[in-house]
Chain A
Amino acid sequence: DTEVTQTPKHLVMGMTNKKSLKCEQHMGHRAMYWYKQKAKKPPELMFVYSYEKLSINESVPSRFSPECPNSSLLNLHLHALQPEDSALYLCASSQVPSGGYYQETQYFGPGTRLLVL
């Protein structure tokens, strides 16, 4: 099973709202990722969690707050977003490094399409 699931599929929120995106995988992967993708552009890495600990934050504004409550779940909490934050948010997972080397393949979820009004 190479499935990563994300909910909701679509989300519309106002700039004063608080919402959360959810991601789940049951492949035993211990590395999980959040990406932001604008239309017709490649994904941009936001955060990386390894063994439920935040290992990479690519200078993302604090209005995005990630959380990894357990090895299968990854959340992205959203607060006071701006219209320019409207995008497709992708979650991915992979095995963690072994012997100093990355396991090579990231598996992506279907994404959440976010619109900020």
Chain B
Amino acid sequence: AQTVTQSQPEMSVQEAETVTLSCTYDTSESDYYLFWYKQPPSRQMILVIRQEAYKQQNATENRFSVNFQKAAKSFSLKISDSQLGDAAMYFCAYRSLHYGGSQGNLIFGKGTKLSVKP
């Protein structure tokens, strides 16, 4: 079974600085998706960034980028120029590429709570 581990329960960053959130996962599959979701206090889960495992190029989305290390099974999220609105719980998630049974379910890490200091 696949697992996702976020080893940092809480992190803090100064506004305008850069912060990196860690995520590691375990799987025997070669094809899968990885996601970072953001959940602010307003509670809606918002997709931040997505990475397909078969793509070597790291995904980027404006101030958000990932460092995807497939061999090391690592998927960290870098937030540049942090803003107050970035304060939220961040969840790393894994999803199998292949359809069937529970293989397509999102498997979440426990989350990292990010605080942004003005």
Give A contacts to B, CB under 8 Å: 40-43, 45, 48, 56, 58, 88, 90, 92, 97, 100-102, 104-111, 113
- A101 touching B97 by the CB < 8 A rule? yes
What is the bound-complex CA distance between A23 and B42, given in angstroms?
Answer: 17
CB distance from B26 to the nearest CB of A (A): 16
Q: Given known contacts A56-B102, A101-B98, is B111 in contact with A110 (CB within 8 Å)?
A: no
Give the interface residue-count category, chain B: 20 to 34
Closest to B46 in A: A108
- Which residues from chain B contact A105 at a C-beta distance below 8 Å? 35, 47, 50
Cβ-defined partner of A97 (8 Å) among B35, B99, B102: B99
- B106 touching A102 by the CB < 8 A rule? no
What is the bound-complex CA distance between A45 and B98, given in angstroms?
Answer: 18
In order of increasing CB-CB distance, the 6 nearest A-B pairs are A42-B108, A108-B45, A97-B99, A102-B104, A110-B44, A104-B33
- Which residues from chain A contact B35 at a C-beta distance below 8 Å? 105
CB distance from B33 to the nearest CB of A (A): 5
Beyond contacts A45-B105, A102-B33: 20 other A-B pairs, Cβ-Cβ < 8 A, are: A40-B89, A40-B111, A40-B113, A41-B110, A42-B109, A42-B110, A42-B111, A43-B106, A43-B108, A88-B43, A101-B97, A101-B98, A102-B96, A102-B99, A104-B33, A104-B52, A109-B44, A110-B42, A111-B43, A113-B43
